[in-house]
Amino acid sequence: MARILVTGGTGYIGSHTVVCLMEQGYDVVIVDNLSNSNVEVLDGIERIVGRRPDFENIDCLDYTNMDRLFARYSDIEAVIHFAASKAVGESVEKPLLYYRNNLGSLINLLELMMAHGVKNIVFSSSCTVYGQPDANHLPVDETAPIQKALSPYGNTKQVNEEIIQDTCHSNANLHATILRYFNPIGAHPSAEIGELPNGIPNNLLPFVTQTAAGLRECLRVFGDDYNTPDGSCIRDYIYVMDLAKAHVKAVERMLSGAPTEQVEIFNLGTGRGLSVLEILRTFIKVTGVHLKYEIVGRREGDIEQVWAKPDKANTVLGWKADTPVEEVLMSAWNWEKKLRGIE
């Protein structure tokens, strides 16, 4: 079976994807510098799969060691590139860190792939590239206009996509699949791996589960005066295991030579928008946990509503995100309980 290089493979989405790849029989080598994950994730992966992926603690910015890695693993057939810095707020504070890490890592990888004859890359992009789509582009499909990024982080995704387009344009042998994720949530059903946010979470679900676990006193709902049915913002929350499976489909498609374009782009979402209040009420209903929340003012930079039209991924990749949100929220809670030793 083919070997896949997974950068950022001990991170949140990467670790779930490694599990799915290994369960399909792929050999995986992870490259991660552990800047936002820890090495015990490998134990969790091993407990689920029964095998341990190869792991290299290398920074993607370290060209020399990345070059050695490609030389050592001469059987790599595709790269899935998750490694990036991803905190929107931090990117506003430290833009150069974000530009250096997110652009430099991709540039190194593409150069080394071409030098070592690796032809396929799957790239983690984000629905953030669409900003707030206007009403006639909701749900948002892949042809919706890219809007000026609201943060340096968002801009790195846009520039990364352009770097990939330009590099593929200059090299007919290189193929890319750009996956634009909506809002990934949840954890592996075994609760062996899940999301490990650093410090106080910015994202909704880790804040919900940490509040439910008693680590945070009260969840703040950022605004109930939006132009949505209940006034709170709407997002397309996608189960991380469904998302992980899309990567396996993307790799299969590339390795079988099926892509019809050199760069294929897919939106990965459920096709269903849920409001913040719907998420909170569903979480309380399925877990039976008391969750204290209050409505506060809007968060700066928040988009009112966005959800995916995932038809292209459904038909072309043969993939669908179909795990019920109740199950997804329960998986997030089970993971938090396990982390905190709650029965």
Of 141 and 278, which CB lies nearer to ligand WQD in the complex structure? 278
Q: Can you tell me which of 12, 26, 70, 207 binds ligand WQD, judged by CB under 6 A?
A: 207
Of 20 and 221, which CB lies nearer to ligand WQD in the complex structure? 221
14 near ligand NAD, rule: CB under 6 A: yes
35 near ligand NAD, rule: CB under 6 A: yes
289 near ligand NAD, rule: CB under 6 A: no
Residue from 297, 12, 296, 300 nearest 151 by CA: 300
Residue whose C-beta lies closest to ligand NAD = 11
Alpha-carbon dihedral 8, 81, 120, 46, rounded to 10 degrees: 20
210 near ligand WQD, rule: CB under 6 A: no
* Beta-sheet pairing, 175-181 with 219-222: unpaired
The reply to whether 153 belongs to the active site is yes
Q: Can you tell me which of 35, 299, 311, 322 binds ligand WQD, judged by CB under 6 A?
A: 299
- The answer to whether the beta carbons of residues 236 and 272 sit under 8 Å apart is yes
Binding mask 65-104 for ligand NAD (x = CB under 6 A): -----------------xxxxx--------------x---
The total of other beta-carbon atoms located within 10 Å of residue 93's CB is: 10
276 near ligand WQD, rule: CB under 6 A: yes
Our CA angle for 10, 12, 13, nearest 5°, is 100
Q: Is 257 left (phi over 0), alpha (psi -120 to 50) or beta?
A: left
Residue from 128, 225, 123, 219 nearest 175 by CA: 123
Q: Can you tell me which of 16, 81, 86, 188 binds ligand WQD, judged by CB under 6 A?
A: 86
Which among 54-62, 210-218, 273-281, 288-296 is the span making contact with ligand NAD, rule CB under 6 A?
A: 54-62
The sign of the CA dihedral 258, 12, 148, 311 is positive
128 near ligand WQD, rule: CB under 6 A: yes
3-state secondary structure of 50: coil
Q: Can you tell me which of 302, 312, 314, 320 binds ligand WQD, judged by CB under 6 A?
A: 302
152 near ligand NAD, rule: CB under 6 A: no
Q: Can you tell me which of 4, 5, 6, 11 binds ligand NAD, judged by CB under 6 A?
A: 11
* List 98, 153, 226, 237, catalytic entry: 153
Would you state the structure tokens that stand for residue 311, as one six-digit string? 């038809």
- The answer to whether the beta carbons of residues 86 and 11 sit under 8 Å apart is no
For residue 145, what is the DSSP state?
P
Q: Report what 108 binds from ligand NAD, ligand WQD, none; CB cut-off 5-8 Å by kind.
A: none
222 near ligand WQD, rule: CB under 6 A: yes
- The answer to whether the beta carbons of residues 31 and 70 sit under 8 Å apart is no
Q: Which residue has the tokens 């399925």?
A: 286
CA distance 187 to 164: 30
Of 31 and 308, which CB lies nearer to ligand NAD in the complex structure? 31
Of 168 and 243, which CB lies nearer to ligand WQD in the complex structure? 243
Q: Can you tell me which of 37, 91, 155, 177 binds ligand NAD, judged by CB under 6 A?
A: 37
- The answer to whether the beta carbons of residues 179 and 123 sit under 8 Å apart is yes
Q: Can you tell me which of 126, 155, 210, 323 binds ligand WQD, judged by CB under 6 A?
A: 126
- The answer to whether the beta carbons of residues 3 and 27 sit under 8 Å apart is yes
Report the interface residues with ligand NAD, using CB under 6 A: 7-8, 10-14, 31-37, 59-61, 82-86, 101, 105, 124, 126, 181, 183-184
Q: Report the catalytic residues.
A: 153
